[in-house]
Amino acid sequence: MGEIDEGWAAPYSSYRSEVPASWLDYNGHMHDASYLIALSDANEELFDALDLSVDYRKESGASFYTVEYPVRYLAECSLGDVP
């Protein structure tokens, strides 16, 4: 984490996390709110890669706020999947 190659491709995608059991609903499907957890974690990884880490933001007084998260469910994730 924390480094972007000069020739990085768009869209940037480095976040990888296996879907844990705690993200599943009673049917064994990924709960809708868990998709936003994964997206938020991926955003933090991108901020780190852009040298905008939590430490940097704390030291500089800068911050990021989520205004809107439009979500379209185009595919389903289940236990062990890597979205």
pLDDT tens sequence across 39-76 = 899 888 888 888 888 899 999 998 888 898 888 888 88
Degrees, nearest 5: CA angle 36-23-48:
45
| For residue 1, pLDDT beyond 60 | no
Residue of higher predicted confidence among 75 and 8? 75
> What is the overall mean pLDDT for the chain?
85
| For residue 3, pLDDT beyond 80 | no
Residues making up the chain, counted from first to last: 83
At 4 the pLDDT is 53
